[in-house]
Amino acid sequence: METWPGSPFPLGATLRHDGTNFAIFSEVAEKIELCLFDEDGTETRVPLVEVDAYIWHAFVPGIGAGQRYGYRVHGPYDPAQGQRANPNKLLLDPYAKATSGDIDWDQSLFGYTFGDPDSRNDEDSASHMMLGVVVDSDFDWSGDERPRIPYNRTVIYEAHVKGLTQLHPDVPEHQRGTYSAVAHPSVINHLKRIGVTAIELMPVHQFVNDSTLQDKGLSNYWGYNTIGFFAPHAGYASGGDRGEQVDEFKSMVRALHEAGIEVILDVVYNHTAEGNHLGPTLSFRGIDNAAYYRLVEDDPQFYMDYTGTGNSLNVRHPHSLQLIMDSLRYWVTEMHVDGFRFDLAATLAREFYEVDRLATFFELVQQDPIVSQVKLIAEPWDVGPGGYQVGNFPPQWTEWNGKYRDTVRDFWRGEPSTIGEFAERLSGSADLYEGEGRRPVASINFVTAHDGFTLRDLVSYNEKHNEANGEDSQDGESHNRSWNGGVEGETDDATVLAIRARQQRNFLATLLLSQGVPMIAHGDELGRTQLGNNNTYAQDSELTWIHWDDADQGLIEFTAAVAALRDEHPTFRRIRFFNGRPVTRGVGEPLPDIEWLAPDGNAMSEEDWDADFVKAATAFLNGQGIRGRDARGRRITDDNVLLLFNAAEVDVDFTLPGEEYGGRWSVAVDTSGAAPAELRAGETLSVMSRSLLVLVAA
């Protein structure tokens, strides 16, 4: 086959008008063959003879969009020294922008023979591998513009492409579980109804289903097992695997943007699907094992594992870092996404052994003119030593605030001595973020996420019930900070059901009205249950899919109302931390921008904060103390607000503060449904056990 020298950049397969340029990095290769596959599976091998700075490349005239391809890398094979090249293993291009087919876990995919890990396996893997696909990047974006929603106006909805849409009755059956389904007007209208401004999609990079799960009749449902950092997962496309998934993904983004909704991707750059030293050879391992993976320094046949998945990407190597940055830029520039949530982000900061906030990866992000301008969200932990790094990421980043989740759960289940930290979390977690020059929006607040109980299960189960996973319920978190309301699991007890319904409203209202950025887990606003399973990573079934026909309409309406309240009142969306100092603007006695009051209407005393039995308090938010300006430079003000929290097991009498705080109050949120519509200064009312009232000065 005729080839021309081509160009070493960009890496990957780049379509041009008269053919395709192919470029791949390998520092250890002695020879690389480009493998082109016809429709009938016939393979044509094309040697790449041009090499520049370890980039092997060629231009192949006549090769167009839809062409399937892979690589074979000839080079040293010495696992004891961390070298695993084997030309008998067909390899996926790390820069492939689409994939075709799937792997079937045949023995030929492995570098050794089953049962003998020290052997060498030279079986050809081509017929058992997924292939890369040449993609035409042209797309009619129709003037698409990113919504660019400020963090303080952002409401994130964490969702799974299939789980969100597979059972949606309004989505055509052939589209369910796909990118097209996420873009369906019924789905978008629901997101808009509950105030969502950004959908955070669980992994959509091409991933691999684990053989151990398939052997059990399960699958890697969550998708945290990436093999292709540029390719949208083909399993979420409604039709075709010759690059059609790329256009379908773009169409989804375009539709969401038209509705004013941003798209954030949950990305897994900390490891790949090739696993540990006993894993298959699918791509990176066979291309340049030591460049792409962290190997044990004194025994490089093994992999450093800070992720619990068998390997960790080598962020100390320039080409691994380039891969990550090229991927991020591609998803922003070509796919128009609006941000990223980085799974186990602490791993990306481990240049040596410890987590380092000054790691090269963060420097590259900071300096990049494209990636630095989108939303960057860290899951600020991994499973390695010192991996819990909540509050320690660079100022440009926001973080999943695990301390917010734990504290809010503890408070509403009635744990003692939680009122002080609850107040800290509600007001933006200044103890974590203010000292680094960050803002309240650095905290991505959440009560539930994909990993753990759903909201309904959080208030229905004391223990995990993971039997369906086939691990004797040994998997998943055992300390869930949950409370079942008095009965474990499903029940017809009206009293218990009333408590559970109230608790769900308490959590949602607290989440949406806390300072910071709220994140709702998909289906929580509908009352979705997983029957107590808190680790559904392997459950691609009706257990995890949203049952739209069984949705709790009342809870949806409640969520929508609280989201609207948040949107209407900037006091819930501050861009600066409270300082507690008196605000002298306006008429009347100066009042602090925030003040915590005991149920008797007086300021909380030191004894109140320290007492382990205190489970009720009022938060006063001063509408004159926002300390912000709008786009035109005008000072932002708002109505005064009172939030009355009662997490006690009994009803508590609350006395409203004096006239200086507000003369008349209207009830904006009542999770109990028992409060009067209006109240006056100094009035006393009984607040139901485990309930929340939000009052706005009338």
- Positions annotated as catalytic residues are 343, 379
Q: For residue 550, what are the contacts with CB-CB under 8 A and spacing of at least 6? A: 526, 527
Secondary structure string (H, E, C) spanning 74-89: ECCEEHHHCEECCCCC
CA gap 282, 92 in Å, rounded:
6
What distance lies between CA 641 and its chain's CA centroid? 32
CB 365 within 8 A of CB 349: no
DSSP conformation class of 332 = H
CA gap 343, 229 in Å, rounded:
13
CA gap 97, 65 in Å, rounded:
11
CB 152 within 8 A of CB 398: no
β partners of residue 206 = 228
Q: Which amino acid belongs to residue 543?
A: L
CB 93 within 8 A of CB 99: no
Count of all residues that appear for the chain in the document: 698
Count of Cβ atoms closer than 10 Å to residue 352 Cβ:
8
- What one-character-per-residue DSSP string does 25-50 give? E-SS-SEEEEEEE-TT--EEEEE--E
DSSP conformation class of 484 = -
> Where would I find the H helices in 177-283?
179-182, 185-193, 211-214, 244-258
Count of Cβ atoms closer than 10 Å to residue 430 Cβ:
17
DSSP conformation class of 303 = B
Rounded to 5°, angle at Cα 661 from 659 and 667? 100
Count of Cβ atoms closer than 10 Å to residue 50 Cβ:
17
CA gap 115, 376 in Å, rounded:
44
- Picking from 174, 154, 582, 207, the residue whose alpha carbon sits closest to that of residue 375 is 154
Phi, psi values for residue 418, rounded to 5°: -115, -10
Count of Cβ atoms closer than 10 Å to residue 310 Cβ:
18
